[in-house]
Amino acid sequence: MSEWLSAQEAMDRLNIRAQTLYAYVSRGRIEARAQADDPRKSLYRAADIVRLEARRARGRKASAVAQETISFGEPILASAITTIQSGNLFYRGRNVVGLSQTLSLEAVAVLLWDVEGVASAPRHPVPTDGATGKARVLSALAWAASEAAPSRGRHPDLLHVEALQILNLVADAIVGDGTHQGLIHQRLAHYWGCDEVGADLLRRVLVLLADHELNASTFAARVTASTGASLAAALLAGLCALSGPLHGGMAARVRSFMDESARLGIERTIQASIERALTVPGFFHPLYPEGDPRAKALLSAFVPPADYQAVFAATEAATGKAANIDFALAALASTLNLPEDAPFLLFAMARCAGWLAHAIEQVRTGTLIRPRALYVGPRLQA
């Protein structure tokens, strides 16, 4: 056996999917390195594969298996909404790259919600408190959650109308005004002073970010919905999870890296990350080791600023890691001269469509999500 195996060879030996292989790598269970003739592809240490193969053959307790599903591991619940297969993202079986060519966020929301269409819903009044878009969205969802009825036991048609109301509420909260008309990307474009080309780029990124399977914020939304809480409450939970620097705040880290590279030099900044065993912000995704298709689709639709192009080329050359959607989102914001909080607001606006889909799907199951904890605390006493 060769010292290094291809991804397919490793998956065949362990009888696992790509997501699980990448999870093993991200947790340090399998060592990976860039392929010499193509740094965009990875090779995996055969000895690590053999060790895991032997361990799997011996069997593991169900509790150990369950514990490893939490971080990019095996699927933990059934869903008909979104999947990541063979390096591609699919909404209801349709490739998101193709959807992003023409559809609006509203059209994708209807697809994710699995309905033919949603009757027009009256717009909620927009809370005016909050100096920033993020503050207004949090305030709006908190207000809606306090006013809305529980989701459990309600007719699906009513939930879909409410979902459309909430989607519009978030858009109105971002712009701080409920009088704007048109599709959501058009309202955002008008608010941020974008032309038609910019508006179409906003439309694309909203579609590309609308859902991403069971990420942290979506899981938070599903857990909340499983209690029977309102759709607005589920979205509020998702938004709180999204606000973390390892999730929706990642684009801000990309901007910080860009600023640092401008001060210290690109190569020096990249090398410093490598020496600290850190991934360059905006590059690599455990579920897309060969490259994030969302980033490729978005970056192909516009010409990023020269500094982003330089960092893109230098990072891929130095690390063999491809840019992900966070880098593409930051590059888009710079290209369109959007305000500092725009990447987070675009992420939140888009993901609301997915959170609503998952909340509605979870309500339909009628089950409560209640995992068990593996106790590792002090010895129990009588």
First to last CA, the chain: 54
Q: Go through 139-169 and write b for each residue having 16 or more CB atoms within 10 A of its CB, e for each that does not.
A: bbbebbbeebeebeeeeeeebbbbbbbbbbb
Q: Alpha-carbon distance 66 to 240, whole Å?
A: 25
Our measurement of the distance from residue 249's CA atom to the centroid of its chain's CA atoms, rounded to an integer in Å, reads: 11
What are the tokens at 67?
């514990």
Q: How far, CA to CA in Å, does 304 sit from each of 68, 275, 312, 333?
A: 38, 28, 10, 10
Distance separating alpha carbons of residues 341 and 358, to the nearest angstrom:
26
CB 285 within 8 A of CB 292: yes
Look up 326 and say whether it is catalytic.
yes
Catalytic residue (one of 124, 160, 212, 285): 285
Altogether, the residues listed in the chain come to a count of 382
Residues labelled as active-site residues: 285, 326
